[in-house]
Amino acid sequence: MAVRRDGTLWAWGFNNDGEVGVGAPSWQYAPVQVGTATNWVSVSAGWNHTVARRSDGTLWAWGSNFSGQLGDGTTTNRSVPTRVGTATDWTAAAAGGFHSTGVRQDGTVWAWGYNAFGQLGDGTTTDRSAPTQMATGQGLAIALGSYHSLILGP
């Protein structure tokens, strides 16, 4: 995944679950533009899903969604970018193995998806299909592994 200086989003590679974001699942052997939007500012690739942020503060996800890691309130796979909730104040986002996180403008950290090991940080091991605020305070930056999350606090 890559965001060009012109704000376009490009992807390539394995695409069995739609994680490249170009519609029909098929492997992409060379970079292909994802949609026509020109306001992408960041992108993060997880195991088999992708999360990306636009300059208008919206968050988008696509690919595998068996644990709700796309944050759209379902467990339906998506092969094109699908909006995560209605918030327009996301400042960061990251995709992990089977979960995702995001930071809002007020510094609150939100997570969704697979949670068997408590990686969503909400004090439970319950999967979430929509953003749920982490139990921790605020975050400046986030990083995810396959089954864990890291937050850099203020």
Question: pLDDT of 73-111, one tens digit each?
Answer: 999 999 999 999 999 999 999 999 999 999 999 999 999
The predicted structure's pLDDT at residue 24: 81
Answer yes or no: is pLDDT of 18 > 80: yes
User: What is the maximum alpha-carbon separation in the chain?
Assistant: 42
pLDDT at 141: 84
Q: Comparing C-alpha atoms, which of 64, 63, 128, 76 is closest to residue 101?
A: 128
Residue 73 CB burial class (10 angstroms; 0-12, 13-18, ≥19): middle
What whole-number distance in Å separates Cα of residue 88 and Cα of residue 60?
A: 11
pTM (two decimals)? 0.94
Go through the domains of the chain in sequence order and give each one's CATH number: 42-152 (2.130.10.30)
Instruction: State the pLDDT confidence band at 39, using cuts at 50, 70 and 90.
Output: very high
- Whose structure tokens read 């979960």? 99
Rounded alpha-carbon distances, angstroms, from residue 13 to 17, 23, 29, 55 = 11, 14, 6, 25
